[in-house]
């Protein structure tokens, strides 16, 4: 058979790309599982044109992330489609860490928690920063629209000495929903540019799940006992000042969600979580 001329080669069409299904997400972005030929991949598309910059930052952060034992889906392509930014990435055929914890025993869960905590703690640097101004600005910007009283929680965060907080790398949104488990490996997804860079912010996002069961908010069955066990592991690794820092960040995380949660049915979940912490932390 004669070899193809360059013109004929160009005429060969790449396989068609199909969207198989929309993966569950809770933000404004759309996440699709797609297939082209025999290859599956994930496509994340910004929900509104205004979110393009954040999604691009997320993609860059994911692309740059390198670690000895924590993986991330490789980023393939990015661009703009119908004025919306998108990027495509490797499909990780695993489960969210929250699902993994629900389905497995502590014997399987503990090594993963250990890997996670070692990762976050190894990011803590000697260099400290004064976060008083960015924290105050965040707190001033928070308002409750549902009649729920937030003053005591704002005060709890405000009255803390934020002047010398250790800095370091931070994933930005390290909830169990954004950690996938595949063949006993952890994969990070959904990186976020955070307003301050400190591993304690990542620790506080982990506590959103461990203490408040955030990633199980839409489920009836929540693994409370397993998470109590995980909380004991976390506490055994933190000094008392570190515990105080992450507790404040945890309350701040919940306060930040409150205005958005009001519009959805998880508003009561956030309020209950804050009330629960008020008792637990003596706020």
Ligand X SMILES: Nc1ncnc2c1ncn2[C@@H]1O[C@H](COP(=O)(O)OP(=O)(O)OP(=O)(O)O)[C@@H](O)[C@H]1O
Chain contacts with Mg ion (rule: CB under 5 A): 178, 190
* Interacting partner of 241 out of ligand X, Mg ion, none (Cβ under 5 to 8 A depending on kind): none
Neighbouring CB atoms inside 10 A of 138's CB total 16
- Rounded Cα distance, 259 and 249, in Å: 17
Minimum CB separation from ligand X for residue 266, in Å? Answer: 14
Residues 140 to 179: which contact ligand X by CB under 6 A?
177-178
What the block records as the tokens of 118 is 């070692």
Minimum CB separation from ligand X for residue 30, in Å? Answer: 8
Minimum CB separation from ligand X for residue 63, in Å? Answer: 13
Burial group, residue 265, by CB count within 10 angstroms (0-12, 13-18, 19+): exposed
Minimum CB separation from ligand X for residue 235, in Å? Answer: 27
Residue 251 sits at the vertex; the CA angle it makes with 247 and 254, to the nearest 5 degrees, is 140
Which residues lie below 8 Å from residue 237, measured CB to CB, with a gap of 6+?
117, 121
227 lines the binding site for ligand X (CB under 6 A)? no
- Nearest of 254, 241, 248, 243 to residue 164 by alpha carbon: 241
Phi, psi of 63 (to 5 degrees): -65, -35
Minimum CB separation from Mg ion for residue 19, in Å? Answer: 19
Residues 13 to 72: which contact ligand X by CB under 6 A?
23-27, 29, 31, 42, 44
190 lines the binding site for ligand X (CB under 6 A)? yes
Q: Is the dihedral of CA 217, 246, 112, 95 positive or negative?
A: positive
Strands 17-22 and 30-36: antiparallel
* Interacting partner of 31 out of ligand X, Mg ion, none (Cβ under 5 to 8 A depending on kind): ligand X
Q: How many residues interact with ligand X (rule CB under 6 A)?
A: 20
- Return the residue of 96, 102, 204, 267 that touches ligand X, per CB under 6 A: 96
* Interacting partner of 42 out of Mg ion, ligand X, none (Cβ under 5 to 8 A depending on kind): ligand X
* Interacting partner of 112 out of Mg ion, ligand X, none (Cβ under 5 to 8 A depending on kind): none
Provide the binding-site residues for ligand X, judged by CB under 6 A: 23-27, 29, 31, 42, 44, 73, 89-92, 96, 177-178, 180, 189-190
């Amino acid at each position: 058979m004669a070899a193809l001329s360059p013109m004929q080669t160009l005429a060969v069409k790449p396989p068609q790309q199909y969207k198989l299904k929309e993966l569950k997400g809770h933000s404004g972005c759309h996440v699709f599982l797609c297939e082209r030929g025999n290859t599956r991949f994930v496509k994340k598309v910004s929900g509104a044109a205004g979110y393009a910059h954040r999604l691009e930052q997320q993609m860059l952060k994911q692309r740059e992330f390198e670690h000895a034992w924590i993986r991330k889906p490789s980023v393939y392509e990015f661009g703009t489609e119908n004025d919306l930014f998108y990027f495509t990435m490797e499909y990780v055929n695993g489960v969210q860490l929250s699902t993994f914890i629900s389905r497995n025993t502590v014997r399987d869960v503990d090594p993963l928690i250990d890997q996670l905590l070692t990762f976050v703690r190894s990011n803590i640097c000697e260099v400290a920063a004064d976060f008083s101004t960015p924290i105050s600005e965040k707190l001033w910007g928070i308002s409750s629209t549902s009649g729920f009283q937030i003053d005591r929680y704002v005060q709890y965060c405000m009255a803390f000495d934020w002047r010398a907080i250790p800095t370091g790398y931070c994933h930005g949104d390290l909830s169990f929903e954004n950690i996938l488990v595949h063949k006993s490996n952890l994969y990070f997804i959904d990186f976020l540019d955070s307003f301050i860079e400190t591993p304690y912010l990542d620790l506080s996002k982990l506590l959103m799940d461990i203490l408040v069961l955030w990633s199980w908010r839409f489920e009836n069955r929540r693994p409370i006992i397993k998470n109590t066990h995980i909380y004991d592991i976390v506490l055994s690794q933190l000094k008392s000042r570190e515990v105080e820092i992450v507790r404040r960040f945890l309350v701040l995380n919940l306060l930040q969600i409150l205005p958005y949660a009001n519009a959805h049915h998880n508003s009561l979940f956030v309020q209950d979580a804050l009330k629960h912490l008020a008792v637990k932390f003596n706020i």
